[in-house]
Structure 1
Amino acid sequence: MATTVNGAFSEFMREIVNLDQEKTKTARSSRDNLIDNIKGFSGKNDFFQVYDDKILRFGSFERRTKIRPIDDIDLMLCLSGEGTRTYTKLGEIFYIYGNDYDSSNNLMTDNTNYLNSTKVINRFISKLSDLQDYSKAEMHKNHEAATLRLKSYTWNFDIVPCFYTDANFYLIPDGLGNWKKTDPRIDNERTTNVNIRHNGKLLELIRLTKYWNNRKVTIKIGSYLLECMILQRYENKSVSETWWIDLEFRDLLEYLSSAILSDIEDPKGIQGNLNYFCWSDRCKISEALHNAYNKALEASKMEIKNKDQKSAITKWKEVLGNDFPDYTGD
């Protein structure tokens, strides 16, 4: 129910894109409750010692860039090295030397002294299956996490076992039984800082762009890659004295149509190029973004130059889909 473009975007973000505040509170509470439950396993004969201070909440839910519905919540559950686990690196692969606990619980890669990350995840799954209020624990499809499904809510938890190193980064499963380097704290801090720089307006723009990306008008861009491209633009963009989300989104579409054609480096300096699309797919995505930009440009001209709110709202509906509000004026 909207009579202006500004009103339509406000309603759209509130009712369709942004997470419901009460569900968000419930989700955070359920996450904290899960952490407490896992801490209850800590140090038992059949489970690791948990490193409380290095448990890490990460992902789009933590960065507040997730759109409706809340479907998954990410958590890195840090395990203590207990002074007896060390690691070595060969290329980009990390190997963690196991200790007596790992050996006695059959957590080593066969015929080696290395702690097997897949077996560690399976140990998580075994323990998580004992928890109340959760319907199923299973291996995530990427073999890098345990997925815990709830009985009462619509979201799952993706729980990544990890170790914190003396070099100030984390080691997580690589999906092949070994370990790889990461540090989501860098992403969390980057997103927060760039959002603050733009007066707290950026997160909503990221969510709006994710919504467009999910409409399947082209090959879907991975959520993390999309966030990195947006942050790359706004790290280097002057702070606007005025901020209109429709105009920012319009101009962002044009920027992304060009950015997707280039490699995008991991801001953590770990993964290298994040833009895994081949040239043909990059061009298809670029074309779809540019087409959306052209429609957005028409919509803004209708609103600003022609003073035609109805036509502008109708054109924005072409960009954002049927859930975008209809014009309800005369």
Structure 2
Amino acid sequence: MDTQVGTAFSHFYGSITPPDSYLQLAMRRVRKLATDITRASSMDGPWYAFLGYRLMGSYARRTAIRQSSDVDVMFEFAAGDSPHAHDSLSLLTYLEECLSELLGGAADLSRMREVVSVSFPGEVTIDILPCIKSSRGGYLFPGGFGRWAVTDPDTQNAYFKERCDASRIDLSKFTRGIKQWNVENGGILRSYHLEAMVANVADKLGDNYSIATLRFYETYAEGLSVQDPAGQQGDLSSYLTPCQRKAVSVLIENYRNKAHLAVSAQDDRRYTQAVEAWARVYGPCFPSPDEQ
């Protein structure tokens, strides 16, 4: 890749990456919450013993971007003897009430009733996923509206590490760029789905970010389906309505053409025009030639 184009990509990835201090602050808050929950007296209703926490999601995989920077953390509990102890909504409500008491009401259930969101104004937002270890492997977590769902972060982490190792580029960095593109175009695709899409083609992306972008669009212009690498959720594109699926496919086809023009400009050594073309692909966070 030409130095001018390579520098533009480097500046782009740097501009969309959250500072290390953001995660460090979030984890200090998490450690304090974990300590307080451990010490908290039991509340009315089903009782759960707090066992520990772990970072998960985009920050754990180094794929978080500034415009979608909530920190995801899993809190593991052991269920008590109450007949309601294995009800997902009871677990979620228990965590919300416990955190609200500790923080003076700053904890809220998500709209889909899957996580408890804790906001520290001017600092960080932390989404806490309460889980119980499953006897069949993985963890049970509230799947929305009282349902249970299953996650397996160990299998996820092993898969994404293997795919990063198979790639000839920095896959986490490239994933952040694709997430930023998604945000700039309405944010229809979910974060985990996008990460799995990128990981699925990790060994086919080539050795630079220009070619990787073009190959990503070429692959998914034909369809958005990709299986959950943890083997729990099936087709990760299943949340899309037919209308959304069509809209995203048209969008990717359009950006495949834009990426092709950018790569052609590079091949012709028209590097300034190539940088301008990549800015039309990735949006205003991608630097123009006079911003480098």
Tell me the TM-score range normalised by the shorter chain: 0.7 to 0.9
Superposed, 1:20-169 pairs within 5 Å as: 20-41=19-40, 44-46=41-43, 48-52=48-52, 55-69=53-67, 71-81=69-79, 99=81, 102=82, 108=84, 115-132=86-103, 136-153=106-123, 155-169=124-138
CA distance in 2, matches of 1:221, 1:143: 20
Q: Aligned AA for 1:7?
A: T
Gaps of 5+ in 2: none
Check the 8 A contact 2:228/2:235 in 1, yes or no. Answer: yes
- Partner in structure 2 of residue 283 of structure 1: 246
**Distance 1:281-1:246 versus aligned 2 partners, 3 A rule:** same
Structure with greater helix share of residues: 2
- Partner in structure 2 of residue 248 of structure 1: 212
State TM-score, norm by structure 1.
0.78
Check the 8 A contact 1:56/1:77 in 2, yes or no. Answer: yes
CA distance in 1, matches of 2:66, 2:127: 17
Cα deviation, 1:274-313, whole Å, max 9, x if unaligned, reads 21224443232122112112111111211222x1122111
**Distance 1:291-1:238 versus aligned 2 partners, 3 A rule:** closer
Q: Aligned AA for 2:197?
A: M
Q: Secondary structure at the match of 1:265?
A: coil
User: What RMSD over aligned residues (CA atoms) do the two structures have, in Å?
Assistant: 2.6
**Distance 1:278-1:176 versus aligned 2 partners, 3 A rule:** closer
Superposition deviation, residue 265 in structure 1: 2.3
**Distance 1:119-1:161 versus aligned 2 partners, 3 A rule:** same
Check the 8 A contact 1:12/1:324 in 2, yes or no. Answer: yes
Q: Secondary structure at the match of 1:51?
A: strand
Superposition deviation, residue 239 in structure 1: 8.1
CA distance in 1, matches of 2:204, 2:177: 20
CA distance in 1, matches of 2:132, 2:284: 46
Matched, 1:322 2:287: no
One of 209, 218, 222 as aligned partner of 2:178? 209
Count residues in correspondence: 286
Superposition deviation, residue 199 in structure 1: 5.5
**Distance 1:284-1:178 versus aligned 2 partners, 3 A rule:** closer
CA distance in 2, matches of 1:69, 1:315: 23
Q: Secondary structure at the match of 2:106?
A: strand
How much identity, in percent, do the aligned residues show?
24
Check the 8 A contact 1:264/1:275 in 2, yes or no. Answer: yes
Superposition deviation, residue 272 in structure 1: 2.1
Superposition deviation, residue 178 in structure 1: 4.2
Q: Secondary structure at the match of 1:171?
A: strand
Superposed, 1:183-202 pairs within 5 Å as: 183-198=152-167, 201-202=170-171
